[in-house]
Structure 1
């Protein structure tokens, strides 16, 4: 497998307050460490508070500034409360990385259950809608900012293996583009990233449900391997920075 080196931090996010959702594992956890190394004060949100506390402790051990807030993406009040918590802690929000996903039970369209569709709608679409509106409201009061949403390459093409997931991520792409146009005059930039196969626990769950999927996905990638979570976080860091 090809290995990648870790770039030297250059202060891309120095002085910025950044909220990271889904920060207890995978891409969100990698982003927590990376953003802090790049100079951000991070507020990390996730449902699993024990795992989140571990990530916060790790960031602090590395010399970064981090706090935790419990967040249930299925609960709109919880999302708004997390953004309010950022305001109480720091008085502003400069960046938000809306990251976090669930995987539906893999299978074709006609066997995907109503519960799977509802879960994907709640977590992968409505949660982002609620989060972006709350984040933008705070950013508007404090001079603007940047928002990055994590979508998926599965939103860009037919997705027979994960139809509900792909559909909701495609809907997320649409509201991301709309938000970018709507809030540009407020000094708020909104971008989405659509990673391909990334070595996270979500992929592990998919492999458990569909043995061989990791090898199948890896073989379809020109580099012959999946992305590492840090590599996706690097893209988000740049998009949240003033360089973007």
Structure 2
């Protein structure tokens, strides 16, 4: 669907592994000739530790909303060639989604929160994590202060962060400070998925593939570009009411895009 800003449900941020008083048993798995044993890399160990901590500590709940992005697709396609020629990088669909999420987070600060045991911390900065995959690893760089950036500014950061990952120049500071994750699962054709929350954040939004299909509009069948937005939430921090309103707002923003929408 757009630039390689990541389809995988695991988020590789470096967290301390869950501590246990008992040593973890190593599973005994028999092998036969032809089986291949692959060493676990430090990055894969970090992914495993963070995913285990997220699933162990966070009571996950899920919800999904369908959005008609026909006008978004039309507007992006109108602009993409001229934009690429002028700016030197792609105007991706994903940039529109990240901008809509950042705007909605500003209006629903509860979604930009973290569980802290005896309190819930609402983060002031809206720093959107995006997952970027390579062949053998996954990184979660952060678009800082995403609510203050234009669609063009967000598209530029997606491009630059993805380039850093591919070139091996991503720094630890590029992955720090994220408050909410948006995952581009649709880039591989996924239409529905349930992401694992990027600990210690309280939610992750999966942007699925844009699919053209028949929809009833004004009592008539019409071909429309539709997308599913799938939200995983920490039920200690968030409830269905605020999450539903948050998704409704994102839907409203995306469906409100028209030929007058500026990316600058």
**TM-score (normalizing by structure 1):** 0.27
Bigger Rg, which one: 2
- Larger RCO: 1 or 2 (CA < 8 Å, sep 6+): 2
Q: Which has the higher strand share?
A: 2
